[in-house]
Amino acid sequence: MQSVVIVRRLGLGAMMLLVGLWAAACSGSQGVGGGGAFAPRTAGTLTVATAQIPDPGFWAGTPARPTGGFEYGLARALASRFGLSKLKVIIVPFARLIAGDLGGADLALSDITVTSERAEHVSFSSSYLAAPPSILVRPGTEVADVHAAQRLSWAVQTGTTLQSALEEAIRPATTPLILHHQREALHALRARRVQAVMLDLPVALAYARESPNTYAVAAQLPSEDVLAAALPKGSENVEAVDSAMRAFAADGTIERLGRKWLATDLEEGQVEHVPTLRTQE
């Protein structure tokens, strides 16, 4: 069984199954999977960076001791595939991750949307989850179309694809709150300082599932955005991680993780129950 070591570092910073677990292991300083060798920075250890714990649906528990979550499960599956006996998790602010500073980690799993701009600073793995932007509101708030969305007061995390989606697809009538952390945007919604927050759909659904009396997902935006692991730019481990992601999709591990932690059930079409925002009445 893998042991887990947590290090706090640098501060605390549609939905579709794309990629699940193909176990293959060998011991030593390099892990070998079907896609070739994985060379960890620390022998026998997979070091994973993420921006915050807890992150409902993705990382459960505390920074000192995560206890589950979709990306936590994905990290453990990667360590197992590469034959690494230890999983070490470090906390690195999101802005540092997308700028290419992984804090010495082998890879980052932190709800990171793939973009060409970010790919200038990090190397992305194959994607593992679709993540269109979505509108998180308080229960009872309806957002029938983009005109209704424009009339809402908004909060969004700075430096994210969600900020771009809000500014370009919604164009709110009033200036949104641009905040440094996702938790600040959610606090603004809870405190009724704003009426809506833009979040990746799987993240929004996880918050709504955890706190149904506090949050609801009103709509999703048309998008092909996906989440992927970020590796140091030019990392020789990209091929091995790509192979792992494809294998995880093939044997259903990501599907199982999604159903357990994100309430994803493609067979039941649950995501289709979140309406796509209409551009006109």
pLDDT in tens, 236-280: 999 999 999 999 999 999 999 998 898 765 334 346 688 999 765
Answer whether residue 82 shows pLDDT above 80: yes
Q: What is the pLDDT of residue 278?
A: 79
Query: Which of 74 and 274 is assigned the larger pLDDT?
Result: 74
Give 41 or 1, the one with higher predicted confidence.
41
pLDDT digits (tens, 9 = 90+) for 4-18: 443 433 332 333 333
pLDDT over 70 at 26, yes or no = no
Instruction: Tell whether 87 and 15 lie within a shared domain.
Output: yes
- CATH number of the CATH domain containing 156: 3.40.190.10
In a domain, 142, yes or no: yes
Whether the per-residue pLDDT at 123 is higher than 90: the answer is yes
The verdict on residue 174 lying in a domain is yes
Average pLDDT taken over every residue of the chain? 86
Q: Is residue 278 part of a domain?
A: no
Domain interval for residue 167: 133-220
Report the share of the chain in percent with pLDDT over 70. Answer: 83
Do 187 and 54 lie in one domain? The reply is no
Query: Hey, which bits of the chain come out as E strands?
Result: 3-8, 31-33, 36-38, 45-50, 60-62, 65-68, 86-91, 107-108, 122-130, 133-137, 154-157, 177-179, 196-200, 216-220, 226-232
* Rounded-to-integer distance, Cα 68 and Cα 196, Å: 28
The 10s digit of each residue's pLDDT in 164-213 is: 999 999 999 999 999 999 999 999 999 999 999 999 999 999 999 999 99
Domain count, the chain: 2
φ and ψ at residue 53, rounded to 5 degrees: -140, 125
pTM score, whole prediction: 0.83
User: Domain check: are 27 and 146 in the same one?
Assistant: no
- What would the two tokens of residue 88 be? 């070490």
- Together in a domain, 207 and 255: no
**Which token pair is 94?**
């999101």
Q: What percent of the chain has pLDDT over 90?
A: 77
Is residue 177 in a domain?
A: yes
Give the residue carrying structure tokens 């009396």: 213
Mean pLDDT, range 88-98, rounded to an integer: 96
What distances in angstroms separate CA 218 from CA 51, 190, 213, one per listed residue? 26, 15, 14
How are strands ordered across the β-sheet holding 133-137? 177-179, 154-157, 196-200, 133-137, 216-220
- List the one residue out of 49, 122, 42 whose CA is nearest residue 92: 49
Residues 99 and 27 in one domain: yes
Strands 122-130 and 226-232, sheet pairing: antiparallel
Residue 276 belongs to a domain: no
The per-residue pLDDT for 272 is: 62
**Same structural domain for residues 230 and 248?**
yes
The verdict on 23 and 120 lying in the same domain is yes
Amino acid at 159: G
